[in-house]
Amino acid sequence: MRTISGVLGVLALTIGVYGQAFVHQKLGENFTQIGTGILTESGLPFWSAEATTGNLDVFKITGNNNFTAALLGTSRIADPVAYHPTAGLMWEGSGSALGSGNADVFVETTNISASVLGTGRIAFGFGFTSAGQPVWYGSGSGNGNQLDIFRGSTNLTASVLGSSRDAVPAALNANDVLLWDGV
């Protein structure tokens, strides 16, 4: 009996301490469309939703912080991809501020794909190495409109595949070994 009351007391204390930040806020409250979401290792959610009609933005639950509106302009679409404790949030998005037809990968507020891919670009996020280097893939005028995999700004696939190439990451293990498909 004493064990049960002790467990209930610890549970009540845990809920009281850790549950406070989310008591008055519900995930997706007052949003018309909920997109994809991710959880950090500590359980903090990042998620995409439509707060303004026609714009799918990425939010952090604490305060419903909008990560994407100021960077993407109008007609925006954004989704969270991955989180690293040091590097922060990786997300992908498109919008009027990036130019027509361009879609980029960001780490927090830094556009990591625009300067690498050039114009007519489309980029997709994949994940982080253990040290926090972003791994992503994309194409644009800067890489001959070929679909390549990058670690940071380093093209990992161009020298291996040659011309007329397409490469897509499949897995990244704890030792930072990347498994990928390519032609």
Which sign does the torsion angle of CA 93, 116, 107, 99 carry? Answer: negative
Give residues with Cβ within 8 angstroms of 169, minimum separation 6.
126, 127, 135, 137, 149, 178, 179, 180
Task: Place 27 in a pLDDT band, splitting at 50, 70 and 90.
Answer: low
* 63 phi and psi angles, rounded to 5 deg: 75, 5
pLDDT at 34: 81
Q: Tell me: the pLDDT tens digits for 119-160?
A: 999 999 999 999 999 999 999 999 999 999 999 999 999 999
CA-closest candidate to residue 135, choices 147, 124, 120: 124
Domain ranges across the chain: 31-182
Task: Place 36 in a pLDDT band, splitting at 50, 70 and 90.
Answer: confident
